[in-house]
């Protein structure tokens, strides 16, 4: 079991490091925590240590329940699979800890790979709600999949918590079953844009995106906050082909901005930053949670040095990271702790007697408690009542 104190979970001083790429000279590039910021881009110092420890998926070990299951749906294959695998593994760790401690209440985790295909995501969602033993779902991981499947979970009355989908529109669908476990793009976009203006001194910025629901929404929030600092002459989407990257790099090179902000996933951002550096573009490279992955550092190599990445995910608690690494043979992913937290909330609900879909939905709706990542409590629209954003740097 994890023995996590509140001081460990909440004392976010110092520099947490995750994921590294060893360079030819023997040095290691890592994602290093810099500061925690508010929406104005200002540093938020850690508060007074709270007395409440993070919720434990093991509970008190006395739960007794009939055979029940939870589900997770995410992209588990392809170039962006590390995001989904990290989420799945975080949830699995919570489920395994629960089942070890509660022999009288064994919960199964049913896993679905969307393969980053929207039709597949809807088919998976229909399978999930058709299983009478499945009470709740964690996922999908990507915003477009969450937008496409939300109506299925809503019609089934099944609670659906996403640990990673950040598109603002998800909370504007009037769905009573939707809950987001992190800051949305509007919150993160404003925070990182203000950080760029006020802390990095970015007077001119090329804002690029990957033409996904996630990228479009985040880029728009960044542009709106940057205002005149966002150069409209190099505000463009970067499509999936090599020539799309080359075209964007040419435009950026002509504009010579102070910074480039890219809203997209790590496989694309690694390609883009390599191309920018190869073309001699020395502008600051800034991205967000979609890029905050050790695979970004591994794929971009030396080109990733000094890249700035924002994320509403905090640095990993050492005890959690150790337990995760021991079980899965690799460090936690960007949203692994968030998946663990959301899995714990559902498991605690089952242990407390919420063993129907309506009961588990009400458990989440009324929930208030500390997790590894943050304090969890939701507003009526499924958004967290309080969120902050962390800044990381590749060093």
Instruction: List pLDDT tens digits, range 105-163.
Output: 999 999 999 999 999 999 999 999 999 999 999 999 999 999 999 999 999 999 999 99
Between 213-226 and 185-195, two packed helices, what is the crossing angle to 10 degrees?
A: 40
- So what's the pLDDT on residue 3? 46
Looking at the domain assignment, is residue 9 inside a domain? no
Q: Is residue 24 located within the same domain as residue 112?
A: no
In terms of Cα–Cα distance, which of 331, 250, 374 is closest to 86? Answer: 331
Instruction: List pLDDT tens digits, range 297-322.
Output: 999 999 999 999 999 999 999 999 99
- So what's the pLDDT on residue 46? 72
Q: Is residue 303 located within the same domain as residue 329?
A: no
Q: Is residue 241 located within the same domain as residue 266?
A: yes
Q: Is residue 195 located within the same domain as residue 230?
A: yes
Looking at the domain assignment, is residue 6 inside a domain? no
Instruction: List pLDDT tens digits, range 34-58.
Output: 999 999 999 998 764 455 799 999 9
Q: Pick from 260, 280, 311: which residue ends a domain?
A: 311
- So what's the pLDDT on residue 385? 96
Instruction: List pLDDT tens digits, range 175-202.
Output: 999 999 999 999 999 999 999 999 999 9
Q: Is residue 176 located within the same domain as residue 120?
A: yes
Q: Is residue 319 located within the same domain as residue 177?
A: yes
CA 184 – CA 312 distance, rounded (Å): 9
Q: Is residue 265 located within the same domain as residue 191?
A: yes
pLDDT at 392 over 70: yes
Q: Pick from 286, 311, 336: which residue ends a domain?
A: 311
Looking at the domain assignment, is residue 62 inside a domain? no
Looking at the domain assignment, is residue 57 inside a domain? no
pLDDT at 14 over 60: no
Average pLDDT, integer, range 341-366: 98
Q: Is residue 329 located within the same domain as residue 378?
A: yes
Looking at the domain assignment, is residue 290 inside a domain? yes
Instruction: List pLDDT tens digits, range 75-113.
Output: 999 988 999 999 999 999 999 999 999 999 999 999 999
Looking at the domain assignment, is residue 86 inside a domain? yes
Q: Pick from 266, 289, 311: which residue ends a domain?
A: 311
Residue with tokens 């997790």: 371
Beta carbons of 354 and 150 less than 8 angstroms apart: no
Q: Is residue 301 located within the same domain as residue 340?
A: no
CATH number of domain containing 114: 3.40.50.2300
- So what's the pLDDT on residue 19? 47
CA 208 – CA 237 distance, rounded (Å): 6
pLDDT at 15 over 70: no
Instruction: List pLDDT tens digits, range 217-272.
Output: 999 999 999 999 999 999 999 988 889 999 999 999 999 999 999 999 999 999 99
- So what's the pLDDT on residue 373? 94
Average pLDDT, integer, range 358-377: 97
Q: Is residue 35 located within the same domain as residue 96?
A: no
Q: Is residue 105 located within the same domain as residue 118?
A: yes
Please report the DSSP string for 235-248 in residue order.
Answer: -EE--SSHHHHHHH
Q: H or E segment at 18?
A: strand 17-22
C-alpha torsion angle, residues 154, 157, 159, 165 (rounded to 10) = -10
Q: Is residue 241 located within the same domain as residue 167?
A: no
DSSP state of 384: B
Beta carbons of 183 and 387 less than 8 angstroms apart: yes
Q: How many domains does the chain have?
A: 2
Looking at the domain assignment, is residue 390 inside a domain? no
Range of the domain at 196: 14-47+185-311
């Amino acid at each position: 079991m994890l023995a996590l104190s509140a001081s460990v979970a909440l004392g976010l001083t110092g520099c947490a490091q995750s994921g590294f790429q060893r360079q030819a000279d023997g040095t290691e590039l890592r994602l290093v925590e810099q500061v925690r910021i508010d929406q104005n881009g200002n540093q938020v110092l850690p508060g007074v240590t709270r007395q409440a420890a993070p919720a434990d998926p093991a509970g008190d070990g006395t739960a007794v329940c009939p055979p029940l299951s939870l589900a997770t749906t995410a992209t588990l294959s392809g170039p962006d699979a590390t995001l989904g695998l990290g989420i799945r593994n975080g949830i699995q760790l919570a489920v395994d800890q629960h089942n070890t401690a509660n022999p009288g209440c064994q919960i199964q985790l049913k896993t679905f790979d969307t393969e980053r295909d929207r039709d597949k995501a809807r088919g998976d969602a229909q399978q999930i709600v058709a299983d009478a033993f499945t009470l709740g779902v964690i996922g999908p991981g990507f915003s477009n999949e969450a937008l496409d499947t939300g109506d299925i979970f809503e019609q089934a009355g099944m609670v659906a918590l996403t640990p990673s989908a950040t598109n603002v529109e998800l909370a504007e669908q009037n769905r009573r079953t939707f809950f987001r476990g992190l800051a949305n793009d509007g919150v993160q976009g404003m925070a990182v844009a203000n950080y760029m203006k006020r802390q990095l001194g970015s007077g001119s910025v090329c804002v690029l995106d990957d033409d996904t629901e996630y990228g479009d929404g985040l880029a728009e929030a960044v542009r709106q906050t940057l205002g005149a600092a966002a150069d409209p002459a190099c505000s463009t989407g970067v499509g999936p082909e090599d020539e799309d990257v080359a075209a964007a790099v040419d435009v950026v090179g002509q504009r010579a901005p102070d910074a480039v902000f890219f809203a997209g996933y790590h496989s694309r951002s690694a390609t883009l930053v390599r191309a920018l550096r190869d073309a001699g573009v020395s502008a600051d490279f800034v991205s967000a949670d979609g890029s905050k992955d050790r695979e970004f550092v591994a794929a971009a190599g030396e080109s990733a040095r000094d890249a700035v990445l924002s994320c509403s995910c905090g640095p990993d608690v050492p005890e959690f990271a150790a337990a995760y690494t021991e079980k899965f043979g690799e460090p936690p992913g960007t949203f692994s702790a968030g998946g663990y937290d959301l899995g714990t909330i559902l498991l605690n609900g089952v242990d407390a007697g919420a063993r129907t879909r309506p009961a588990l939905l009400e458990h989440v709706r009324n929930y208030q408690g500390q997790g590894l990542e943050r304090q969890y409590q939701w507003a009526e629209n499924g958004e967290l009542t309080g969120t902050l954003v962390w800044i990381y740097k590749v060093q």
